[in-house]
Chains A and B, each alone.
Chain A
Amino acid sequence: DQQVKQNSPSLSVQEGRISILNCDYTNSMFDYFLWYKKYPAEGPTFLISISSIKDKNEDGRFTVFLNKSAKHLSLHIVPSQPGDSAVYFCAATFNTDKLIFGTGTRLQVFP
């Protein structure tokens, strides 16, 4: 039973445009959500997070939106850059317990 889902396995975006990566979850007890970025031959690295008491968190070009009623979060990257090309994982957790990851979305930013 996949508690965290990323339904788009891949996304292709032109440089300078907005990239929107989506994530859905089923467990209403999740209280913290994170996005990780993974380049080939490297481990995932933390990108941005959001608490369930907020609906938006912004860090530079990256913004995460949380819609609790829809159990949906999204990551916006504006403007997209070629260096953003990577696999993005969303993850969720409850009460500082273990993270549950989604299946990942491969983002490709082309010139």
Chain B
Amino acid sequence: DADVTQTPRNRITKTGKRIMLECSQTKGHDRMYWYRQDPGLGLRLIYYSFDVKDINKGEISDGYSVSRQAQAKFSLSLESAIPNQTALYFCATSALHEGARSRELFFGEGSRLTVL
């Protein structure tokens, strides 16, 4: 079983619909992140959370919201989806303290979202 699980893996929706992408992890990490990948733009940070009560905006948070329901769960919501939010979305986790590897991110397999 994957350590970082994203659901759904694929979703097609229409403009204006509300969409939630969910992420759960079994690594016991405190830190969780949502990134989106677009061709030619790489991975861009949407939101991140360093613990259950800590939520921070990333580079491109407009149009998105997040909820950290528990240490192991971090969901991303698109309140009113628009076509330019069509992308591949990744959840990731990291540990606060693991020595030199503390900055390493562990990614889920991705959620492909298409907004028509």
Q: Which A residues fall within an 8 A CB radius of B?
A: 6, 9, 32, 34, 36, 41-46, 49, 51, 89, 91, 93, 96, 98-104
Whether B76 sits at the interface, judged by CB under 8 Å, is: no
Seen from chain B, the residues whose Cβ lies within 8 Å of a Cβ on chain A are: 4, 33, 35, 40-45, 48, 56, 58, 90, 92, 96, 100-110
Instruction: List chain B residues, Cβ under 8 A from A96.
Output: 96, 102-103
Partner of B110, one of A32, A43, A46: A43
A49 B103 Cβ-Cβ under 8 A: yes
Give the chain B neighbours of A104 by CB distance below 8 A. Answer: 42-43
Contact of A101 with B109 in the complex, beta carbons under 8 Å: no
In the bound assembly, the distance between CA atoms of A34 and B100 in angstroms comes to: 11
Beta-carbon contact of B100 and A51 below 8 Å: yes
Residues of chain A contacted by B42 (CB below 8 angstroms): 6, 89, 101-104
Question: Is A44 touching B108 in the complex (CB atoms < 8 A)?
Answer: no
Q: Is the CB of A43 within 8 A of B109?
A: yes
In whole Å, how far is B29's beta carbon from the nearest beta carbon of chain A? 13
B104 touches A46 (CB 8 A): yes
